[in-house]
Structure 1
């Protein structure tokens, strides 16, 4: 790639990269411009042949695993290595169509890079029908993690390694004061119908960042975040604010699936595609994608069932959420059945109590009627004024009956 093309890419492209790595890469570019540095692309693709895994296992199954390394600044057309378009072409053509290659280990050591070409490589990895395991080595940030997230599983190599930086920012230098002091007056003249051309930059120079945020940064971040959510639905929402995480924390928030060395990652990949006494077609089960219907998608919390998109691809890292949701549903069902049985028993007890209560009411009504008839048939003796004054107040028999009735209810049913 020519230096002219490199400079054009840097000046005219959007970048998803950490600020620290952008500064380092610019410093490296400056050194490259001042010296004779070979920028011929390095060979980045290789078949795995290593004594780390037993040779007889490799020979027995005749499996080849491709190793793809993405290191340094990520660019669409490459700089000192292949670019994202080269990698995407390799996956879509050679990797997918070569039956002797059974899987891939993607190793990323990059703080990010050019947005152009990044999503195409992401899609090539995500749509691959063969298993691809991702490994973050040192750092996989911004565009680097964007690409890595598309793998079926993602591991991080060391406890101090970092992943994340899911976000976007832009920086530029305002030389207006410099030109003014140098006596240079700069003019920009736009066609009458080009009132919105370079509007974002022109407004940002005036300290109005709204157009830059509305038309460039926020839409870009929305696409970035949605791709990560589609690839790894178990991620915590906090990762979408742009933070970067070392290994243990990255595992906790769902950015990676564990800590594995390159050797361990290779062994894990081989275990997925090569199992003793398995037919070749049976070893490809891991490569399948699970299509989730809209209602199940809503149940699992992946989105609204009324969305236009009616299916969701779930890779290996997403199966855990499905299993957990199904287990939770099963446990909830057991709990509901137990509560239902208990409620049915209480209903039967209440029905029995109601029958007893009805019988008591009938009995008390009969007694009340009996007392009323007796009172009506017996003439009342005359009572003197003195007796009326000295005699204690006595409630009628009817009152005694209903007092007894209320007492029985309180005693038997706790009302």
Structure 2
């Protein structure tokens, strides 16, 4: 293969890799910058040709903004963070692309840095990978400080998705392009490409994998005519994309001009008309605008704090007034907090008294049960003695002293042992107690 063919093959392979899977990207940008991407893909030093994704702090001095010194003392909210978002969007870091994961991490650091009052995002990207984009969007949307997204070329597809939650989005040149809100997938039949070199490719699936890659096989087997399953999958992604953009921009979407949710890309004037950006200013004005946003945010925070404190004082005053109000509640009126508290106290006292009575009754029951057990043992003991005495010889009956358990003589007839026991006073006491 010639050097020229080898380079062409590398370029085609690189572009295919960039577009594989589900993408939110403006393809024209990729074609325009394919030479740079190919050089970066080969490992060439791109440090002087391609801005890296980095975060910097700027401070204002003598009316101008400059990078903060390493050991410079910066007051609370006095610095502005700046992040470059240049090149196609990947989920994880590559040298020649923006990483959605890195953006989330950088914003988290700036959110926790008390010196930072707001953040400027410098944007020049066609979009990129779908996965990871929504996480970055949420990080921007929920950032606790003002964010200004500044377009410096492209702000398309996945990149627009990521910055849609910014407090403001501005263009800096009339040639900037914004939008391309939509989802698509590029798929190549590499089997035909390899077949042109005499190399046949075969795919073999396990018996239980009949639906694996079903959407791709459906597409190829139909000669590219049946994309139903692919479109169904892409629609799920796209619906979420549009829903989040609408949530991020809110009522700033005007409904005027061409509908930005159908995938069109716009120049600034049209993007301002339909509301996907706020305005066009020069790049030199962006830091001043962000400073104003920070100042406005501080003022809003102070006003909110004062409002909350005033509400607190009013509530406390009403509580004290209510506590000091000794008037009786008019008939039919709702009871006061004090009256309800007194009722709770009375009911609690009554409950405790009842519990005390239960405890006393339980103690008495246990004592009675112990007495019955003692009497029962005594009866059993006497029964044994009677049986022994009844078996002894002699004409005269056994004399017993008259005591509490004396056996009654009866009318001269003989009594059974059961009758004798039943006539005992102790047995009668036990029967009276229910035993």
- Per the TM superposition, whether the score is higher than 0.5 is yes
- The equivalent position to 1:201 in structure 2, one of 216, 221, 224, is 216
Aligned partners of 1:245, 1:112: CA distance in 2, in Å? 15
Question: Measured at CA, do residues 262 and 241 of structure 1 come closer, stay the same or move farther in structure 2, by a change above 3 Å?
Answer: same
Determine if the alignment matches structure 1 residue 30 to structure 2 residue 51.
no
Question: Measured at CA, do residues 194 and 79 of structure 1 come closer, stay the same or move farther in structure 2, by a change above 3 Å?
Answer: same
1:248 — aligned with what?
Answer: 269
Is residue 53–residue 86 contact of structure 2 (8 Å, CA) maintained in 1? no
Q: TM-score, normalised by structure 1?
A: 0.59
Gaps of 5+ in 2: 1-9, 69-73, 306-435
Is residue 173–residue 280 contact of structure 2 (8 Å, CA) maintained in 1? yes
Determine if the alignment matches structure 1 residue 166 to structure 2 residue 167.
no
SS in 1 for 2:104: helix
Aligned partners of 1:209, 1:252: CA distance in 2, in Å? 35
SS in 2 for 1:192: coil
Determine if the alignment matches structure 1 residue 156 to structure 2 residue 171.
yes
Determine if the alignment matches structure 1 residue 47 to structure 2 residue 63.
no
Determine if the alignment matches structure 1 residue 282 to structure 2 residue 297.
no
Is residue 126–residue 151 contact of structure 1 (8 Å, CA) maintained in 2? yes
Determine if the alignment matches structure 1 residue 89 to structure 2 residue 99.
no
SS in 2 for 1:232: helix
Q: TM-score, normalised by structure 2?
A: 0.57
Determine if the alignment matches structure 1 residue 238 to structure 2 residue 255.
no
Aligned partners of 2:231, 2:20: CA distance in 1, in Å? 18
Aligned partners of 1:175, 1:85: CA distance in 2, in Å? 31
1:225 — aligned with what?
Answer: 242
Aligned partners of 1:36, 1:21: CA distance in 2, in Å? 20
Counterparts of 1:7-406 in structure 2 under 5 Å?
A: 10=18, 13-34=21-42, 36-38=44-46, 42=52, 44-49=54-59, 53-54=63-64, 63-80=78-95, 83-92=99-108, 94-205=109-220, 206=222, 207=224, 208-215=226-233, 217-234=234-251, 235=253, 236=255, 238-274=259-295, 281-282=301-302
Gaps of 5+ in 1: 286-415
Question: Measured at CA, do residues 33 and 78 of structure 1 come closer, stay the same or move farther in structure 2, by a change above 3 Å?
Answer: closer
Q: Which structure: larger Rg? A: 2
Aligned partners of 1:111, 1:282: CA distance in 2, in Å? 39
Question: Measured at CA, do residues 275 and 155 of structure 1 come closer, stay the same or move farther in structure 2, by a change above 3 Å?
Answer: closer
Aligned partners of 2:77, 2:102: CA distance in 1, in Å? 26
In the TM superposition, residue 153 of structure 1 has moved relative to its aligned partner by 1.3
1:322 — aligned with what?
Answer: none
In the alignment of these two chains, the number of paired residues is 277
Is residue 273–residue 283 contact of structure 1 (8 Å, CA) maintained in 2? no
In the TM superposition, residue 33 of structure 1 has moved relative to its aligned partner by 4.6
Is residue 118–residue 146 contact of structure 1 (8 Å, CA) maintained in 2? yes
In the TM superposition, residue 95 of structure 1 has moved relative to its aligned partner by 1.2
C-alpha RMSD of matched pairs (Å) = 3.4
SS in 2 for 1:251: helix
Q: Deviations over 1:298-317 (max 9, x none)?
A: xxxxxxxxxxxxxxxxxxxx
